[in-house]
Structure 1
Amino acid sequence: MKTEQLISLLKIKEIYGDLPDEVTDITVDSREVKPGTIFVALKGIETDGFNYIDSAVENGSQLILSDRKKDLPEGVGLIKVKDPSKVSALFAEYLYDFPHESMTMVGVTGTNGKTTVSTMIHNLSISMSKKSAYLGTNGFKVNEDTYPSLNTTPETTRLHKRLKEAVERETEVFTMEVSSHALKLGRTFGIDFDIVIFTNMTQDHLDFHGTMEDYGFTKGLLFSQLGQDLKKTKYVILNDSDPWSKKYRSMTPHEVVTFGFNDSADFYPKNIEGSLEGTTFTLVTPEGEYNVKSPFVGDYNIENLMCAIISEWLQGYSLERIITAVEDMKAVSGRLEVLDNRLPFNLIIDFAHTPDALEKVIETIRPFNTGRLITVYGMTGERDYSKAKEMGRIASMSDYVVLTVDNPGNDDKNMLIEIVEEGMTHNNYAKEIDREQAIKIAIDYAQPGDTVFLAGKGREPYQIMENHVKEPHRDDLIALNFAYEKYNFPGYEN
């Protein structure tokens, strides 16, 4: 694309040095730079792209986008703007030819349930014979192919590049998790969503937002940014029982569809029966009642499933077809996932790392547990410590708890355990700073009929350790290995 054409999109800018005639790509990562790439010197939370301009130039960039001036070699130009993040989104849209316009864009926000709802929609879209893509905590997926992703919602230029890749593979529906961090930092600038979903709002990320008000209204950006153009068909799906939904309803002129457990919602369940193998219920809808056989466990997964069903319905599919497809769905990786039902005790992993999520999982497991409930929980490092005591109280709902750490980073591991320990309401617990050994303690303690619940990580494939080094770690594989060793199962790795 002609550089002059891109620059003409900006009314206020300062230009220094020699600009190239054309550019072909844009990135905030100097390691991704090649000739023809615009390098965006973006100032992040932990790093400042301004410090990597020289590296980008060495790798072939001839055009720098920054909020500060810098002397550069001959043949390299710099555009100084007030907000490089916003401008990079604008440039990416033009460079990648507005990829979101050719897909149905679905955005999912909320404290809990984003990954589950987004994955359910992705899988249902495939069942509806649509080419589908998903982007979120579990990576980037195009149909059945999965690629790693660094953030729940990637930085602006990387996000637009993912959209372009999806379009190149003829994707028709693109579902993505939209975090509050992404909304506050402008990572979703330029994305024109067709359907947006709010799951729930509970305490989390106060280390970043400061207050629940800021956290809540930041998520509201997803609804207000749907715009005012009523010629465009857009929908909002809201949790009928969450107080924030009333605020979000007022932020958009587009049609709102609600879900919940009360008959005030547009979609609600009744006649619920469940087990650790799944749930059956009657779904009441504006088009009548339908019997649903779901492979997902717990009331909160009924809410998540209703979100996915509504999303497909709003895209024009019949409820009969959608609900038939639900029966063939599989559990979402790392979300209330029962590992190897051949074991004499239940072994369950879940990503639960907020008070609300941890309590809901424990309350869901408890009725199906014939023995003791053993929970492994670790406080995440360098995060909102104000929830630690409450997490200890909720973990105490279990019969036995192993307190450990989760992505400790540069925090003192003993401190992370101690602040959770303050909330414990009984003395039936152990402490172990090594998460792998903590899992071993739980497996060794378990007897037939018990349930071991590993909270906080799901299938996350690493631990963030000192200096933010990511060390390989999988709760599920570690636990299975210890369990296989204990019971001499085939597949035990010596």
Structure 2
Amino acid sequence: MNSKTLISLLKIKEAYGDFPETVTNITMDSREVDEGSVFVAIRGYQVDGFDFIPQAIRSGCRFIVTDRHVELPEGAGLLIVKDPEKVAALFAEYIYDFPHETQTMIGVTGTNGKTTVATMIHNLSRALGKNSAYLGTNGFMLNEDRYGSTNTTPETTRLHKRIQEAHERETEVFTMEVSSHALGLGRTFGIEYDIAIFTNLSQDHLDFHNTMDEYGYTKGLLFSQMGHNMKDRKYIVLNQDDPWSARYSKMTPHEVITYGMTPEADFHPTDIEGTLEGFNFTLNTPEGAFHVESPYIGHFNIQNLMCAIISEWLQGYRLSRIIAAVGDMAPVEGRLEVLDKTLPIDIIIDFAHTPDALDKIIDTIEPFVTQRLIFLVGMTGERDLTKAREMGRISTRADVAIFTPDNPANDDPKMLVDALAAGASHDNYHSFTDRTEGIEYAIDIAEPGDTVVLACKGREPYQIMEDYVKVPHRDDLIALDRAYRKYRRDEYVTDTDIHQ
């Protein structure tokens, strides 16, 4: 991309020095730059990209974008702008030649269910034979190839780069989780969504948004930013059961399709039957009723699956073909996942970390608990602590509750578990400042027929500890190793597996 063309896109700017004739890449990470890169320095929560300009220059970068003046060596150009993040999105679109235009772009937002819905859409797209990309909490996937990701929604330049990589692999659909942080910070600037999906809204992230109204309206940016060009066939998919959907419906001129558990929704289930192997139901739609055999557990996963089915229907697939493909879908890792069903105890992991999500897990699991329910929950450090008491109360719906930290970061682990314990409604709870010890205790006290639920992390492969150091950690592997040793099974999970 010609540098002069990029600079000419802006009306208000200050340009100093000598810019390279062309650039091929744009990044906010100084470790990723080379001679063909544009480096955009933005102010972050923990670091200021401005401080990394010298490193970018040493790595060969000759095109710097920032909001302040800095002296650069000869042969380098400095572009000072009012809003570097917006400029980063604009430049990325031109450098990568608008790669989202070749793909159906689907954005999923909501407090709970984003990962499950986005993954279900990806898996259903694959079952229907399409090249598909997924981006979110579980990483970045191009068909079955998985790559790591540090945020639910990456920063602007990395997000655009991911879309470009998917375009190069000829993907037909790109499904991504859209977090409220991403919307509030402008990480999704420049992305044209074709389908936007809302799952639900409940208390979370009030450390960032301050109030529920601010949180809710920030989520609404996904719908209000869909544009007003009626030539573009875009669709909004809303949860009829959530009161915020009525507000979101008024934020966009595009057609709204609703789903929910009541007949008022365009898509709704009846005749629900379930076990820990999956739920079956009748799906009532504008085109008639269809029997669905689902490998997923719980009423909320019926809602999540309806989102996936609707997204494919909006892309032109017949409902009969979509529903036939549901049986070929892969499971969603770490979301109400039952580990090794041959064990005499049921061990279930899930990512739920809000009061509403914890309530729904227990509602789902309780009918299938034959003995005791042992429920382990963690409180995240440096996050909205006001939800801790309610999380502790909900956890003590179980026969035994276990409280641990979850990614404590620079917070005192004891303070985090005490905040959970403050909400306990009975005394049969146990607190551990080390999550691994809490998991091992849960398995140690479990007897045949008991159900153990490990909430909050799913298959997240680390704990964030002091100074934001990521220490390898896997809830599922720790639990399985303890269970195999307890029941004298031949197979063991190695310490290397757990801590890699």
Shared fold (TM-score greater than 0.5)? yes
Structure 1 segment 61-80 matched on structure 2, within 5 A: 61-80=61-80
Report the 3-state secondary structure (helix = DSSP H, G, I; strand = E; otherwise coil) of the residue aligned with 1:65. strand
Equivalent in the alignment of 2:341: 341
Q: How far is 1:328 from its partner?
A: 2.3
The one-letter amino acid of 1:258's match is: T
The one-letter amino acid of 1:80's match is: I
Report the 3-state secondary structure (helix = DSSP H, G, I; strand = E; otherwise coil) of the residue aligned with 2:401. strand
Structure 1 segment 443-458 matched on structure 2, within 5 A: 443-458=443-458
The one-letter amino acid of 1:324's match is: A
Q: How far is 1:475 from its partner?
A: 0.2
Equivalent in the alignment of 2:397: 397
Matched, 1:221 2:221: yes
Equivalent in the alignment of 1:45: 45
The one-letter amino acid of 1:136's match is: G
Q: How far is 1:406 from its partner?
A: 0.3
Q: Deviations over 1:27-56 (max 9, x none)?
A: 000000111111101111111100100000
Structure 1 segment 93-104 matched on structure 2, within 5 A: 93-104=93-104
Equivalent in the alignment of 2:257: 257
Q: Are the equivalent residues in 1 in contact too, given 2:477–2:493 (CA < 8 A)? A: no
The one-letter amino acid of 1:376's match is: L
Q: Aligned equivalents of 1:26 and 1:291: distance in 2?
A: 48
Q: Deviations over 1:373-413 (max 9, x none)?
A: 00111100000000000000000111001111100000001
Equivalent in the alignment of 2:476: 476
Q: Aligned equivalents of 1:174 and 1:278: distance in 2?
A: 27
Q: Deviations over 1:111-168 (max 9, x none)?
A: 0000000010001111111100000000000101100001000000000000000010
Q: How far is 1:493 from its partner?
A: 4.1
Q: Deviations over 1:420-449 (max 9, x none)?
A: 110001110111111111101000000011
Report the 3-state secondary structure (helix = DSSP H, G, I; strand = E; otherwise coil) of the residue aligned with 2:90. helix
Q: Aligned equivalents of 1:345 and 1:491: distance in 2?
A: 16
Equivalent in the alignment of 1:409: 409
Paired residues, number: 494
Q: Aligned equivalents of 1:150 and 1:412: distance in 2?
A: 23
Report the 3-state secondary structure (helix = DSSP H, G, I; strand = E; otherwise coil) of the residue aligned with 1:60. coil
Q: How far is 1:73 from its partner?
A: 1.0
Structure 1 segment 285-296 matched on structure 2, within 5 A: 285-296=285-296
Report the 3-state secondary structure (helix = DSSP H, G, I; strand = E; otherwise coil) of the residue aligned with 1:257. strand
Equivalent in the alignment of 1:435: 435
Q: Are the equivalent residues in 1 in contact too, given 2:405–2:416 (CA < 8 A)? A: yes
Structure 1 segment 277-292 matched on structure 2, within 5 A: 277-292=277-292
Matched, 1:112 2:109: no
The one-letter amino acid of 1:331's match is: P
Equivalent in the alignment of 1:84: 84
Q: Deviations over 1:454-485 (max 9, x none)?
A: 00000000000000000000000000000000
Q: Aligned equivalents of 1:47 and 1:290: distance in 2?
A: 52
Matched, 1:353 2:343: no
How large is the Cα RMSD of the aligned pairs? 0.7
The one-letter amino acid of 2:314's match is: L
Q: How far is 1:331 from its partner?
A: 2.1
Structure 1 segment 294-305 matched on structure 2, within 5 A: 294-305=294-305
Matched, 1:155 2:155: yes
Structure 1 segment 159-174 matched on structure 2, within 5 A: 159-174=159-174
Q: How far is 1:101 from its partner?
A: 0.2
Matched, 1:175 2:198: no
Matched, 1:242 2:237: no
Matched, 1:365 2:370: no
101-110 vs 322-331, greater mean Cα deviation: 322-331
The one-letter amino acid of 1:474's match is: R
Q: Aligned equivalents of 2:132 and 2:197: distance in 1?
A: 17
Q: Are the equivalent residues in 1 in contact too, given 2:127–2:328 (CA < 8 A)? A: no
Q: Aligned equivalents of 2:144 and 2:193: distance in 1?
A: 23
Structure 1 segment 50-61 matched on structure 2, within 5 A: 50-61=50-61
Q: Aligned equivalents of 2:328 and 2:11: distance in 1?
A: 53
Equivalent in the alignment of 1:421: 421
Q: How far is 1:22 from its partner?
A: 1.5
Matched, 1:145 2:145: yes
The one-letter amino acid of 2:360's match is: K
Q: Aligned equivalents of 2:164 and 2:63: distance in 1?
A: 22
The one-letter amino acid of 1:132's match is: S
Report the 3-state secondary structure (helix = DSSP H, G, I; strand = E; otherwise coil) of the residue aligned with 2:347. strand
Q: Are the equivalent residues in 1 in contact too, given 2:105–2:193 (CA < 8 A)? A: yes
Report the 3-state secondary structure (helix = DSSP H, G, I; strand = E; otherwise coil) of the residue aligned with 1:290. strand
Percent identity at matched positions?
65
